[in-house]
Amino acid sequence: MNSRIAVVTGGLGAIGLATCRALAQANFKVIAADLHASQSRWDDIQMSMKNLNIHFEPVDVSDFSQCASFVQQVESLHGPISVLVNNAGITRDGVLKKMEPADWDAVISVNLTSVFNLCRQVVDGMSERGYGRIVNISSIIGQTGQFGQSNYAAAKSGMHGFTMSLAREVARKGITVNSVSPGYIKSAMTDAVPQELRDQILASVPVGRIGQPDDIARAVAFLCAEESSYLTGVNLPVNGGLFISF
């Protein structure tokens, strides 16, 4: 059986690369989608992936027409997309009274509108083939809110609302749509947090450690498995017990 095609947006970030690796190890042919990658950067990534079946394609996920062209390009080169992981995300933090409209628009466009842009392109093909897995990477911030992140919290919360709605629309088409809400995960973003604040975060996590990108990647791979056909509309928190809801 040929490998199914999986697309991971934000595929060159910490969580994105870990997810690409996990899916490739699960016998998917993976397309890492991101804004750009220099040849030297991509060469380094490929070396670290130990010849796994991972390819790079550039795309601006906030642009609907680019997403349409991207999906056409991927499917013409590699085959029909069976798995879509919407992982691309940015932050533009600031308290609301000082937040510029451009900061609001950028976060909503990249973190939330991108989910519509790409799902809109792949869902018809998945429906026709009677199979698909869509996983949207939300955040604990979408569940709890965070000071200075009203734009990010709105986008991540909206992502799961989108997830539940689309899950209902396509459930009988063999497509599952789920979200994963990471807690604090080691990445360039969390490494930039002042050490004192990082220590406070670590002290608040019940399992006693910051999450690793592989913790998220394993959850995504589980939801993307063919055997996970009875899980849809689910939000899977992966946060070390930092936030627990009924």
- Domain contains 150: yes
- Domain contains 243: no
Separation in Å, CA 78 to CA 124, 160, 242: 18, 29, 40
- Domain contains 32: yes
CA distance 209 to 185: 9
CA distance 214 to 233: 23
| pLDDT, position 239 | 96
User: Which structural domain, as residue segments, surrounds residue 38?
Assistant: 5-234
- Domain contains 246: no
- Examine the residue annotation and report whether 184 is marked as an active-site residue of this protein: no
Mean pLDDT taken over the chain: 94
- Domain contains 241: no
CA distance 176 to 130: 11
- Domain contains 239: no
81: three-class secondary structure by DSSP: strand
**Binning pLDDT at 50, 70 and 90, where does residue 128 land?**
very high
Whether the per-residue pLDDT at 223 is higher than 60: the answer is: yes
Residue pair 216/18 in contact by the 8 Å Cβ criterion? yes
Q: Which residues have C-beta within 8 Å of that of residue 7, sequence separation ≥ 6?
A: 30, 31, 33, 74, 81, 83, 84, 85, 118, 122
Whether the per-residue pLDDT at 1 is higher than 60: the answer is: no
CATH of the domain at 92: 3.40.50.720
Q: Which of 131, 152, 184, 230 is catalytic?
A: 152
Whether the per-residue pLDDT at 52 is higher than 60: the answer is: yes
- Domain contains 84: yes
Residue recorded with tokens 């965070």: 146
Average pLDDT over residues 188-207: 86
CA distance 52 to 22: 10
Residue recorded with tokens 């913790």: 215
How many structural domains is the chain composed of?
1
- Domain contains 107: yes
**Binning pLDDT at 50, 70 and 90, where does residue 2 land?**
low
**Binning pLDDT at 50, 70 and 90, where does residue 104 land?**
very high
**Binning pLDDT at 50, 70 and 90, where does residue 111 land?**
very high
Whether the per-residue pLDDT at 30 is higher than 80: the answer is: yes
| pLDDT, position 47 | 81
